[in-house]
Amino acid sequence: MVTADRIIALGLMALSAYFMWHASALPIGWNGMTGGPGGGAFPFWLSAIIFVTAGLIILRSFRRPKDTGEPFFDQDTLRSVVLVVLALIVTVALLPFVGAYIAIPLFLLWYLKVFGGHGWGLTAIITLATPVFLFFFFEVTLKILLPKGWTEPFFIPLYARFF
Amino acid sequence: MELLGHLADGFGTSLMPLNLLIVFLGVTAGLFIGAMPGLGSVNGVAIVLPLTFIVPPSSAIILLAAIYYGAMYGGAISSILLGIPGASTAVATTFDGRPMAQQGKAGLALITAAVASFVGGTISVLLFTLFATPLADVALAFGPAEEFALVLLAFMTFVGLGGDDVLKTIIMICLGLALSTVGLDLISGQPRLIFFDLPGFYSGISFLVLAIGVYGIGEILYTIETQKTAPSVTPARLTFRELGYGIKEINKLWKTMSLGSALGFFVGMLPAAGATPAALMSYGIAKLTTKTPERFGKGAIEGVAAPETANNAASTGSLLPMLTLGIPGSPTTALLLGGMVMWGLVPGPMLFIEQPDFVWGLISSLYTANLAAVLVNLALIPLFVWALRMPFTVLCALVFVLCLVGGFAPSQKLHDVWLIVAFGVGGYILRKADYPMAPLVLALVLGPLMEKSFRQTLISEQGNVLAFVERPLSGTFIALSAAFLLLPLIKHLKRLTGRVPSAAK
């Protein structure tokens, strides 16, 4: 737990340093002409506070080392979370190529059948019904087109029918 | 009398068939979201917000407010039937609600929760109606300096009263504010913090993206580990005889319930406090003031009524500063505020002058939402019992899909979907390490206002920083903020000086 706390605080320090580097592209000091701080001042000094505070968290962890010995992740949790996050990343990465109507059913199929261990019946109902609902809710009612990628040509007859 | 006229006009809006239908839909959805362990009002509003483009803005906000309300009622259902709080706001309801269910009085507990929620909601909406106009009048005198000081005060309440690790709270506030500066500089128009030169960052980071990431994806990732085993649902039957008996029992609890409502309302107004502490405080007070405290924790009916009145009252209370001052009193109202800005409505005192129809329509819809919630709640109890048996993986899968598609819909940029996944994972890890999420979301929503008012003040005062302290109202806010910031430090010093007696702990 203490190690994880330190790593996260270090990560936040790195992130804030990166923010500060970006913000310093704009004036970060006091601008005498307009009266007030420059455009980069707000993000720069806020990130500086994050940097210092995260540093304090690390210092504190050395001063009173009360490690409960409890791991930050237990093996089982870590495995499930990493799997789900990977599945989400693959789904989003697939969106521009195969479109929402293939990527999302694939995600549901994996999540319900493989990850959740449900039967084929339930899996099939949800996997097939969700894209139909999405199409009618977003595309037909709200007129918001979801990404289609290579499947775009198959939707042309549907557009003609519903728009 | 002017108040009643406004309220009557408001009912003209909220009793329109479309809005009535929306209120019923909203509270039903809210009840289900609230009843699902792991999902609370803030998750419901975050996930549903992108879908509200289907109705006009004034109806959309009524829908979201109804979901917010319904979720407050719904949290009690799983607290009683599963013994797991449906939302953090219903934690205190498990103390006595679960023992009641185990004694076979689940029906009575559910009735108590629903009726107490109704009483708490109604009393607090009355208070809301009374306080809204005077508070908006005071706020009309606010200039940019007061706005800045008030936002600062809102953040400092998290540091002083939030109860989370002080250093981690400060980090989350600053992180939210820093993320809010991504995009174009408000004053000079120059691009800043365009990470990796991605064009998506030019339009800034939408509060919706952060909210869906943290409260949608992050929350479900968080619940994956806690919800591995299917919980056992206590069966609940509900007959009219029980309903009559329940209402008779509840009639004896007026003292507890009015105390809980007033407490909830005022605690709910504070950004750092809100419904969860309000419910716990109300439970504590009910236990202190009763003649038979030994029954508490063993299925006392007051132990269900007290927290349920308070958490509903708190949800109304947190709407008050959001509508009148533009400062949300809870993460859920922060999302409502973000939604309103997205629809072109700017919360704050001017809203009461420029959009009275909208304001009073929303206020009156709180009355209808309350009534709708208690009716739907009582009528659908068997359905909730069934829905709570639904495997958690099905719910998770559907919420993930809604997050991805709902995050894409408003801007139609895949950039935002990637950000949602990133915020989801980042938020999950930070939350696991006990970093509070509410200040992060609040800071992202209020960041632009804070920076704008700060720099506007300095420009108009030719760079005189003392302007914030010299104006009486903003000076008071700044002094209060300083006090809240110093509060944890004083506590820490006290602990250091009095180390000998506390060392035994």
**Does residue B393 contact residue A111 with C-beta atoms inside 8 Å?**
yes
Helix and strand tally (H, E) in chain B?
A: 24, 2
Residue showing tokens 């190529």: A97
* Of A107 and B448, the one with more pLDDT: A107
pLDDT band at B499 (very low <50, low <70, confident <90, very high): low
SS3 content of chain B, % helix, strand, coil (to 5): 80, 0, 20
- In chain A, the number of structural domains is 2
Cα–Cα distance, B440 to B169 (Å, whole number):
8
Residue B466 has pLDDT above 90, yes or no: no
Residue A95 included in any domain: yes
Interface probe for B, chosen from A92, A130, A146 (most Cβ of B below 10 Å), is: A92
Residue B500 has pLDDT above 50, yes or no: no
Do residues A90 and A144 share a domain? Answer: yes
Do residues A28 and A98 share a domain? Answer: no
Residue A117 included in any domain: yes
Q: Taking all residues of chain B, what is their mean pLDDT, rounded to a whole number?
A: 86
Summarised one tens digit per residue, pLDDT across range A42-61 is 899 999 999 999 999 999 88
**Among candidate residues A63, A90, A113, the one where a domain is terminated:** A63
Do residues A54 and A105 share a domain? Answer: no
Q: How far is B433 from chain A (nearest CA, A)?
A: 6
Cα–Cα distance, B155 to B436 (Å, whole number):
12
Strand A30-31 and strand A36-37: the pairing is antiparallel
Q: Residue A81's closest CA among B47, B232, B396? A: B396
pLDDT band at B490 (very low <50, low <70, confident <90, very high): confident
Q: How is residue A53 written in tokens?
A: 């505070």
Residues 6+ apart with CB under 8 A from A120: A113
Contacts with B, A 99-138, CB within 8 Å: 100, 104, 107-108, 111-112, 115-118, 122, 126, 130, 134, 137-138
Residue A69 included in any domain: no
How does DSSP classify residue B436?
A: -
Backbone angles phi, psi at B30, to 5 degrees: -60, -40
Contacts with A, B 280-339, CB within 8 Å: none
- Whether chain B has a CB inside 8 Å of the CB on A94: the answer is no
> Helix B17-35 crosses helix B2-14 at what angle (to 10 degrees)?
80
Do residues A79 and A158 share a domain? Answer: yes
Q: Note the helical H segments in A24-162.
A: 41-63, 75-98, 100-109, 120-134, 152-162
Do residues A84 and A149 share a domain? Answer: yes
Domain boundaries, chain B: 2-494
Range of the domain at A114: 75-162
Cα–Cα distance, B302 to A120 (Å, whole number):
46
How does DSSP classify residue B39?
A: -
Residue B261 has pLDDT above 80, yes or no: yes
3-state SS assignment for residue B103: coil
Q: What is the pLDDT of residue B487?
A: 85
**Left (φ > 0), alpha (ψ -120 to 50) or beta: where does B237 sit?**
beta
Q: Residue B87's closest CA among B17, B48, B143, B31? A: B31
pLDDT band at A68 (very low <50, low <70, confident <90, very high): low
Residue A31 host element (H or E): strand A30-31
Summarised one tens digit per residue, pLDDT across range B268-299 is 888 777 788 889 889 988 888 888 888 888 88
Q: Do B394 and A91 touch (CB under 8 A)?
A: no
Q: What is the pLDDT of residue A31?
A: 65
Q: Do B181 and A42 touch (CB under 8 A)?
A: yes
Q: How many residue contacts between A and B have a Cβ separation below 8 Å?
A: 165
Cα–Cα distance, B281 to B268 (Å, whole number):
12
Residue B497 has pLDDT above 70, yes or no: yes
Residue A142 included in any domain: yes
Residue B314 has pLDDT above 70, yes or no: yes
3-state SS assignment for residue B183: strand
Residue showing tokens 């700017």: B346
Q: What is the pLDDT of residue B501?
A: 47
**Among candidate residues A63, A83, A99, the one where a domain is terminated:** A63
Cα–Cα distance, A128 to A117 (Å, whole number):
17
Do residues A88 and A148 share a domain? Answer: yes
Summarised one tens digit per residue, pLDDT across range B68-106 is 989 988 888 888 888 877 777 888 898 998 888 888 888
Residue A112 included in any domain: yes
Residue A8 included in any domain: yes
Q: Do A34 and B459 touch (CB under 8 A)?
A: yes
Which segment of A31-35, B151-155, B397-401 scores lowest on mean pLDDT? A31-35
pLDDT band at B226 (very low <50, low <70, confident <90, very high): low
Q: Do A49 and B181 touch (CB under 8 A)?
A: no
Residue showing tokens 């107490």: B116
**Among candidate residues A41, A63, A85, the one where a domain is terminated:** A63
What dihedral angle (degrees, nearest 10) is formed by the CA atoms of B481, B482, B484, B485? 120
Residue A70 included in any domain: no
Query: Could you tell me how far CA B112 lies from the centroid of its own chain?
Result: 22
Q: Do B421 and A100 touch (CB under 8 A)?
A: no
Q: How far is B44 from chain A (nearest CA, A)?
A: 18
Residue A158 included in any domain: yes
pLDDT band at B49 (very low <50, low <70, confident <90, very high): confident
Residue B505 has pLDDT above 50, yes or no: no
Q: Which of A22, A137, A146 sits opposite B193 (nearest CB)?
A: A22
Least CA distance to B187: which residue of chain A? A39
Q: How far is A120 from chain B (nearest CA, A)?
A: 13
Q: What ipTM was assigned to the predicted interfaces of this complex?
A: 0.92
Residue showing tokens 């002094």: B479
